[in-house]
A and B are shown apart, each in its own frame.
Chain A
């Protein structure tokens, strides 16, 4: 009872970014209500300004740390890092959709405020230990994604993808909440930090709860064998949404896992290492093997996204601070390069007769040189060729695996990467080496050029000068582990 009496004033300064994004969402919502047909330039600018303010607040107050609402909300370097990356990527998506939807003529006012609400959820996911907060944020992100996936009302694929996503997402939420229930009942606390220290008492049902909770997240990140929704949802969703799911969605769903990783692995090192290793190995092998046989590039990139979840999980299997560093770096790296791949697909979709087939890419270099170059950069980065960010990320994962001497997992990762060479390289080769002229007739808009140069330059810069990102990753991981 003592805690209830002990009233503290909420430190709202920690929550300012979330509040800004939330207000942005409400403003957009009202705009959509007021106007019959929303003015896209206005809506985009409003969201842009809101997100930018939120980003600037985090960037300028990087020292800001602390807990508020009785530990419901935690702001530390970890959350600030992931939040700023997520907001930046949301800005990129906004700039990209601005052209995409106007061309496709299927943009509705819902898009803007749902995007904001998803972002709020994602921001909260990165910064809480509390089961209830994590649960609500998870719901906010997931429901937002269901709607966004189904947003192209006239498109059958979009509906199919959304439906599959909804069903499996529902199962995931159910499992997570079921697990959360167990965890609360057997530990008497909603704070994951407390719960996981109770786990040391070897309460079987509590462990069951944790397992359920984690399986829920495994579904969300698309880990094999819980991945079935992912290719369909990614393929069916409008491409900007796919890009958003592959970047911000990935970070958001991995963030709680990364947050509890130090705690779980501390108490259950062997079980954690074994389970995560097996899931990780399956995920990377499956993702890459299936991607190898895909003819549709969007689906191929979806499977590659599964495979990348596997690589990130490989870092997570290492129950040491170096593993967490690798996870963080890889997460951010993938969100940048994965988004890049999908954004280019979205740009190309505007061209007439484009169907995302591999053969559509033949000779792309001749019609759209810079687009082909950017796509090659992203493909090489996904493959892990220096000097791209993907290489640094893979090297860090290898380092983590070598630290804990998980040689078998490391070899599986080598094999998986070897398999992935097949399809990434094929895309690059087809673009640059085939003679046929592709029939791409598009003029890139300025906003698209901006997004693509931002993503491809980030991919290269973070590979050549990894210390820019490493500095933050290092501190956040160290702080999270020291707690």
Chain B
């Protein structure tokens, strides 16, 4: 893969700005905390928007803004940062969602203690996330991947709801233990490079040249998969998610669902498919079926939830099912769908979690029964929820539409039955969204209480708009996003054809 070196180190700057911001917060008076964090995340967001202008879309498959700093020479450990089309999209999602989360927290009544720590945790999470999506050195990727755990552990455990400590433990243990397998996989891949070429390297560009026996490749694939299947999550490994997302404070759930889950799917696409193309082709049926199972089961689980945050959390799992299914179809449409769905889900899930938090501020309950008809007297909020709901459901014009539609199209390339299976999954995910909307709008229980609710405004409205407007952009102007990652997909697919198919012939 080719690299275009950065003229201005935009990524390391956007990595460092949140760190500087959090240092300032730590040492200045608490009065400036909120302002500083809004300004910091805002700056990084603007920076990411600027990066769009300097990104060369005609060569989106190349790694641009590339910077490289050697850490350990004879271990081949380098800090190499850069963005290709896929990373760029994830980078923008990160900065956007972090900005939204901070905007939301500013007026969140639930966050009333230990403000400094709270904002510091969010800022450093943003920095680590940018590191995750821009690292091309796989061990550095792992370091950032693990680092995001620590602040989120504290955010859930300190500012969460009732079961916060339990959920924080569960979150940390599940992901930490599973990612130890990833660590083992990563060092094995680097060692394999040593055995093939006589030099340890952790660089992605070197590692894609590795040769494995098929058995060993499948083994490594599974080592990586364990970590990412828990992180994504795929169905039997999902049990940490409803707890973590359900108990975290609103902004925590937003970052968790919108970006932290994407770390798993991003890594599946980048590393599992990129590094082990043969194993991916070999295990394609398993992964596709697994993805569909995830969609269907998660959708069923979703409908049975009585807690609205857990409801949204489970719906995230079913969306992740689409992402996994799409990417392991290993064709153009599937991958397009998968990446589009990652971005779209980042937006809709943030909006839905903010909705849950917003209603909680008024009703002091997450119970679905209590929520009945609760938003009827808040017209602006109701409109935003409808847009979000239909986007999440995959109505044409909604952001998830492309994810679902293209997955079905991709599955059709293999067989009609497969695409029907995906369609069934899409159907179930429509059902739970309709159920949610029905609960929120219809059969109001106690009109007298909800009549006095004030509508969404101020910071929260801005935060909401920052997710809803991109949602509509994804829905109506998808080509704006497709041009970012289409070439990356082509690149990946040609790699697969070269390696896997070439091996067969």
Contact = CB atoms under 8 A, between A and B. Distances in A.
B180 A417 contact: yes
A426 B142 CA distance: 24
B206 interface: no
A474 interface: yes
Given A394-B183, A395-B139, A433-B158, A421 B173 contact: yes
Interface stretch (A39-47, A75-83, A385-393): A385-393
A433 B146 contact: no
B150 A398 contact: no
Contacts of A394: 183
Contacts of B376: none
B26 to A, nearest CB: 11
Contact of B147 (A386, A402, A422): A386
Contact of A386 (B72, B146, B177): B146
B173 A398 contact: no
A380 B150 contact: yes
Given A387-B143, A398-B183, A429 B168 contact: yes
Nearest to A463: B143
B71 interface: yes
B23 to A, nearest CB: 14
B16 to A, nearest CB: 14
Interface string A395-410: 1001101110000001
B188 A433 contact: no
A48 B466 CA distance: 60
Contacts of A426: 169
A247 to B, nearest CB: 25
Nearest to A478: B74
Contacts of A429: 157, 165, 168-169
Contacts of A422: 173
Interface string A401-440: 1110000001000100110011001100100111000000
B158 A432 contact: yes
B192 to A, nearest CB: 8
A402 B173 CA distance: 23
Given A385-B176, A418-B177, A433 B184 contact: no
B245 interface: no
B297 interface: no
Interface string B403-427: 0000000000000000000000000
Interface string B133-157: 0000001001100110110011001
Question: In the complex, which of the residues B75, B149, B168, B180 has the most CB atoms of chain A within 10 Å of its own CB atom?
Answer: B180
Given A386-B146, A399-B187, A432 B177 contact: no
A403 B190 CA distance: 9
A37 B177 CA distance: 53
B172 interface: yes
A402 B146 CA distance: 20
A429 B194 CA distance: 40
Question: In the complex, which of the residues A391, A422, A432 has the most CB atoms of chain B within 10 Å of its own CB atom?
Answer: A432
A426 B169 CA distance: 8
B181 interface: yes
B106 interface: no
Chief secondary structure at chain B's binding surface:
helix
Contacts of B149: 385
A328 to B, nearest CB: 14
Given A402-B191, A418-B173, A429-B157, A391 B143 contact: yes
Contacts of B72: 466-467, 470
A401 B142 CA distance: 18
B164 interface: yes
Interface residues of A, number: 31
B124 to A, nearest CB: 11
Contacts of B153: 425
Nearest to B168: A429
B260 to A, nearest CB: 16
A466 B143 CA distance: 13
B169 A395 contact: no
Given A432-B158, A467-B71, A385 B146 contact: yes
Given A385-B150, A391-B143, A467-B72, A432 B157 contact: yes
Nearest to B200: A399
Nearest to B149: A385
Contacts of B184: 398, 401-402, 410, 414
A112 to B, nearest CB: 40
Interface in A430-483: 432-434, 465-467, 470, 474
A403 B164 CA distance: 41
Nearest to B187: A399
A383 B173 CA distance: 11
B154 A395 contact: no
B166 to A, nearest CB: 10
B168 A402 contact: no
Nearest to B70: A467
A189 B64 CA distance: 63
Interface string B158-201: 10000011001100110011001101100110110010000000
Closest 3 CB pairs of A and B: A418-B177, A399-B187, A402-B188
Given A380-B150, A399-B190, A418-B176, 19 more contacts: A384-B180, A386-B143, A386-B146, A395-B183, A398-B184, A398-B187, A399-B191, A402-B187, A414-B184, A417-B180, A421-B173, A421-B177, A422-B173, A425-B172, A429-B169, A432-B158, A433-B154, A433-B165, A433-B168
27 contacts: A383-B176, A385-B146, A385-B147, A385-B150, A386-B143, A387-B143, A395-B139, A398-B184, A399-B187, A399-B190, A402-B184, A403-B194, A421-B172, A421-B173, A422-B173, A425-B153, A425-B172, A425-B173, A429-B165, A432-B154, A433-B154, A433-B157, A466-B71, A467-B71, A467-B72, A470-B72, A474-B74
